Amino acid sequence: MQVKKSEGGGDATLDGIAKAYVLVEGRRTGHEHLYAYERNEQKVIFRHTDHLDDKVWIPEDFHPRLLNRSDFVVLHHNHPNGSSFSATDLRIFSHFAGIKLIFAHGHDDSSYQAEIRQRGNLDRALDAVQGMASDWYRSNAHPLVACHNDTAWLTTHIMCLILHAADIIDYRFDGNAECRPRYDFAGLLGTAFISASATQLRTTLRSGK
């Protein structure tokens, strides 16, 4: 399955500023950084880091600001290892109704974006799809082109592709030059799996189990 990069639902100017900020600060410090803005008001909400290289949390002081469903908050952060969204990243949509779009920017020039489509089904969908992605990786990783940090790259990517196919999120990505062939090959190899998994996921969500 091919998912092409697009402009997304954010503001192009603010997205450019936010991306530059998290990448410059991330590459300088080696830590993850957050940058949040509200699209409708064209206002920056916060910039933040917890000085960790594998996670960053939204500051508690700003939690109330992110709960308004009528807002369109866009959240940018960097991933030093270049991987796609983790389940923890995506669960942000469940906790904060104002957040509509998130970006992850790899230090290797990879880039990912996810816009929420079915907020109410997200947690249950994530619980189901994480196992699907891990099972796929264990069965199919061995023939794929070698690339650093394989498990994080592929399992998170396949998880997001399934969620996209099930219309839980709108997922877009642009892999870096080194791993783009691997992403393309994984997409081709996993197309039938992704489609079947999305169908299974829809059935699970409809059944309420």
pLDDT at 167 over 70: yes
Mean pLDDT for 100-110 is 94
The residues near 191 (Cβ < 8 Å, ≥ 6 apart) are 1
pTM, two decimals, is: 0.87
Tens-digit pLDDT profile for residues 180-189: 666 665 666 6
Which residue shows structure tokens 């920017």?
A: 105
Task: Answer positive or negative: Cα dihedral of 174, 175, 176, 182.
Answer: negative
Q: What is the pLDDT of residue 82?
A: 87
Running DSSP on this structure, what letter comes out for residue 4? -
